[in-house]
Chain A
């Protein structure tokens, strides 16, 4: 039980974070050409290094690992050895990067121009850079940036070049290869390309994993990939993907290197370039295939103001210290290391935990701008039905309150204290002019379209939803700060009594329900609960004693804010449950799930039974389905004629829906399902 575990929380306000320096300042002062042509001599790994991309390829092709799999594939498929070997070369050719300094210099020049045009500043914590300079010499390094924009990896390489750090080898999705010229240019600036899915292709896997490991083992270059696997369209961190992390840890686990340093990097954009693009995508407009011409259309982007970027290089995490006491490395000494093996149970759970910790580290060092708070407040007002906007001074007052709450929760908030709050608010509002309007001292979300007679009610709803979802993506940036207290607030709300045990089981239920939606470290339920209790007691919202959790007199405002920040998600999940109960037909497949549930939700929104257009987000819908699949309320039929269809457990769904709505106590619900 929770109270038995001793949790000694660090005061989050005491979190030490470094200061930032603007790299564009220097760029605005001196010539870009000179900068692009300057002498670039990065610090290098102290171990034996290979510097040529071609040597790297040879090493991969001649590795024991690859030989083993080539032989195996040849034996199993009956294809002659040479042919399989040739196929491996082709795969490697398609994958491998060809770093060229001239291309890098080209990018250094163009990106300088572009960045100066659209961003006010690019702020980097230089202490983080210094730490990185140190660690690059000591151990192979893996850079793990957050992924919110295409800009991320260009920016990363740009910064590495700027700070005389070795240029990373970047794992990129194959879809870039659709853009012929750009794809090749990216390749020459250090990107290597991986097919999106290669499920059972042993040979591909072997070439790919050996390529990555060879880069690490030889200190060829820092490896860079995105833990989240893809750009987050919602600005929430995504559940980490383990494939590459598994590969990156392998050389350490097998003793081929002394250690590997993982460096989480948090990149926060004041305004994301793909803002409305993402919202559209979430609402069902299919993702445009990346094409070079598409990128050039983005030229109008150049005339806009995207505010500033903050890049925070987190403290390096040593895989060795992570694995200490967790993984018995001698297990790898009983079979030849070049024979591929599935990771054992303990290794898998170790990598999974590490991945969550790293994503949490990314989240915590993400800089939050005042606008993020404003977006949260505006959305809540919107959700409360106040379509008529908020008076500006009220918004300012609310924002200041929320700023203080945020700080007490330890958020990395960049609110310029030397400027009057009203100015901070109004400058934020003006930067996001596409999403908010200010008129007659009231602030509105920019939902009203120019009167278009031809718009149907549904089309109008969708276009409003674009704005709401864009706003939500900013609010989502702050969610990780409030998440644990919000889960507790919601648990208090739904729990049938104030008994600590009761509240804890509600908390557990909600945490379990939302563990596909938010980053909640597996197995850390008790810590999360204790942290939430600690924070809410600290701000005076709750009184907690041995047995009870009581709301304090002055805690109502905080708790109300926290409950309502989670409300769209609660309602969204209930919607998905009721859709599956009421509307799901026999032949519902996973592929047809999203369009069907979207139609169902639109119906409800139009009838006014649901207040939150953001429930239309396909991300939320997919996460809800994943949670239901995990909990066993929905099952995927394997094999047979109905393969791939979803089988629904109505009784369970009903009770889940009721529990989410607070109509059923979690204790009963828990007894029923867990």
Chain B
């Protein structure tokens, strides 16, 4: 198999493999053997799945392993230990169990957030705060007869009432619960979904599909004005790989599978999809399709729209799917494009055939330091022009570089710290880089060994033309590792009065610098304007390159001590930042989607005729608004 064929002695490969195993290998298995039972119940399935799903990560009761009011696993979080040092708990990540000495100072210096001012979250969900479910008795009765498991338990319902927008998490921490689903169902396969949707139509209940729950567009929020019973359709139990076709390099997969499980299962057979969004530990295949997701390594593997071959979706009008697996077709507008990005408004995606690739023989991280952000962007532009982008290339601005620095774990040996000092001296003193202006690009190369080395040289040569200095593999690797823990950091911030969020856009090359400057400045300006007492963190990075432009990510956070309604202020600032993005030629979203958070700009973004087109599709497919999440339109 591909992964075994390359004489696995390479450290780098080990590191790459380690990254995946970190994500998956250390997981506790959900207790109980309901897996087998449920699989057996699903009679609709003709044959046994190609890869069994015993290793599933997501149990039905997600709250058993995941936080109900924060990001990720319950056992993994940043805390200040007794000595007042920041530490990352648990055993799941490379950073787990490590002390991060720089974090406290960084938090203090950046936000003015000190240990004395703590904003504790409500420790546990108070079930009495959850409104009682509005159940549609007839629907429940008939559902029982199908044997699909369901629950009206408060914890189950609250867990599926939100994504990970700041206001959603903030409300949970305060113990505030709004409209939540009235019931959760766990279909086990496509035919279960068909039955549920039929029943929903028959009894006029509202369905909201739920995959990984990592939405950051308010897409999972229950519309407060919805009077029908709301059923959250949790796809997590539809998580099998049904077959792998090695001749065509495709796999047919149930849409509820989450990213890390999908990669692990494929890896067992020597394959991968190469689709690695930052949320891949938790987000699901169906969710990717429904939001037009993008993965970090899209330069090699493509975004989700490049990866899917065939999609099966259950709608109130029936099942939509294509009749063949041709790699491309001219059969009118591609119906997949009504499905991709439909954000749960048209139906439930149940199965997907997607491309797979052999696991790469060799992986190598890298990083480049540039004297300033302008030079860095120019370099990325040149890399894109020459179409030689590595699997991933990301450029962080100076603030993020400093942030990354603050997250360096404690170094164990004097020698490493000496080396670090030497590097710093070389870059700032010898090369004359201004530590307050320099920025870093992180790189990930993938492929066969020779080609990777060749490719690496090509990219470093381009970087050199823009004043870039190679800054080692460690920096690169740490950069990528941070994308998985950064979401945990928000919870720490919230413990100390700091709230923040990230948002993204895509923009033509000639606008990249302008949009970065203006949006960052707008955030600072608006914070001041809205009475934020401390200077905010306002930073960005370029995360993807395309022929005609780039994807830009903004991070922004501030200390809200002294504000009476911090979430409102936060929302005003984010709103202003989005306006600024649009005014500077950026898109409404590159891959997060529209949800309900960005709906107000949809008409402007796609024109009235465009809205009419989408609306007429919705009207035909779902005339009674069974899929009533009210996203997008």
Which residues of A line the B interface, CB within 8 A?
48, 255-256, 258-259, 328-330, 332-333, 336-337
Contacts and interface: CB of A to CB of B under 8 A. Distances in A.
Given A255-B511, A258-B522, A333 B517 contact: no
Interface string B572-586: 000000000011110
A333 B515 CA distance: 11
A333 B518 contact: no
B619 interface: no
Contacts of B521: 258-259
A474 B374 CA distance: 53
Nearest to A139: B521
B583 A256 contact: no
B510 interface: yes
Contact of B585 (A48, A259, A333): A333
A44 to B, nearest CB: 16
B108 interface: no
Interface residues of B, number: 16
| For the complex of A and B, 10 pairs with smallest distance between CB atoms | A333-B585, A329-B583, A258-B521, A255-B584, A255-B514, A258-B518, A330-B582, A330-B583, A255-B518, A256-B514
Nearest to B604: A330
A336 B521 CA distance: 23
20 contacts: A48-B374, A255-B511, A255-B515, A255-B518, A255-B583, A256-B514, A258-B521, A258-B525, A259-B521, A329-B583, A329-B584, A330-B583, A330-B584, A330-B585, A330-B604, A332-B585, A333-B508, A333-B584, A333-B585, A336-B510
A258 B517 contact: yes
Interface string B558-592: 00000000000000000000000011110000000
Interface of chain A, main secondary structure: loop
Contacts of B510: 336-337
Nearest to A252: B518
A328 B518 CA distance: 16
Nearest to A254: B514
Contacts of A337: 510
A328 B525 CA distance: 20
A329 B582 CA distance: 8
Nearest to B581: A330
A328 B374 CA distance: 27
Contacts of A329: 583-584
A333 B511 contact: yes
Nearest to A318: B525
A332 B585 CA distance: 8
A332 B583 CA distance: 8
A74 to B, nearest CB: 23
Contacts of B582: 330
A216 B509 CA distance: 22
Contacts of A333: 508, 511, 584-585
A329 to B, nearest CB: 4
Q: Which of B374, B517, B585 has the most CB of A within 10 A?
A: B585
A566 to B, nearest CB: 43
A636 B522 CA distance: 49
Contacts of B583: 255, 328-330
Contacts of A48: 374
B611 to A, nearest CB: 17
A317 to B, nearest CB: 16
Contacts of B522: 258
A7 B220 CA distance: 46
A546 B377 CA distance: 64
Contacts of B517: 258
Contact of A255 (B525, B585, B604): B585
Contacts of A259: 521
A256 B518 CA distance: 8
B458 to A, nearest CB: 27
Contacts of B604: 330
A48 B517 CA distance: 12
Interface in B495-545: 508, 510-511, 514-515, 517-518, 521-522, 525
Contacts of B511: 255, 333
A255 B586 CA distance: 11
Contacts of B514: 255-256
Contacts of A336: 510
A350 to B, nearest CB: 14
A127 to B, nearest CB: 21
Interface in B444-503: none
B153 to A, nearest CB: 47
B8 to A, nearest CB: 48
B307 to A, nearest CB: 29
Nearest to B582: A330
A48 B371 CA distance: 13
Nearest to A338: B510
A661 to B, nearest CB: 51
A330 B374 CA distance: 23
A330 B604 CA distance: 10
Contacts of B585: 255, 330, 332-333
A256 B515 CA distance: 9
Contacts of A332: 585
Nearest to B524: A258
A445 to B, nearest CB: 54
Contacts of A256: 514
Nearest to B583: A329
Interface in B574-621: 582-585, 604
Contacts of A330: 582-585, 604
A322 to B, nearest CB: 14
Contacts of A258: 517-518, 521-522, 525
A337 to B, nearest CB: 7
Interface in B362-387: 374
Q: Which of A255, A328, A337 has the most CB of B within 10 A?
A: A255
A251 B535 CA distance: 27
A48 B437 CA distance: 11
A330 B601 CA distance: 12
Given A255-B584, A333-B508, 11 more contacts: A255-B515, A256-B514, A258-B517, A258-B522, A328-B583, A329-B584, A330-B604, A333-B584, A333-B585, A336-B510, A337-B510
A330 B518 CA distance: 14
A133 B515 CA distance: 27
Contacts of A255: 511, 514-515, 518, 583-585
Q: Which of A259, A332, A333 has the most CB of B within 10 A?
A: A333
Nearest to B507: A333
A445 B508 CA distance: 68
B55 to A, nearest CB: 47
A48 B510 CA distance: 18
A655 B522 CA distance: 55
A329 B511 CA distance: 13
A333 B517 CA distance: 16
Contacts of B525: 258
A336 B548 CA distance: 13
A508 to B, nearest CB: 36
A329 B510 CA distance: 16
A256 B584 CA distance: 9
A292 B30 CA distance: 94
Q: Which of A259, A328, A329 has the most CB of B within 10 A?
A: A329
A256 B525 CA distance: 17
A256 B522 CA distance: 14
B605 to A, nearest CB: 10
A259 B525 CA distance: 11
B559 to A, nearest CB: 23
A316 to B, nearest CB: 14
A126 B374 CA distance: 37
Nearest to A328: B583
A333 B514 CA distance: 12
A19 B582 CA distance: 43
A505 to B, nearest CB: 40
Contacts of B584: 255, 329-330, 333
Q: Which of A256, A330, A332 has the most CB of B within 10 A?
A: A330
A302 to B, nearest CB: 49
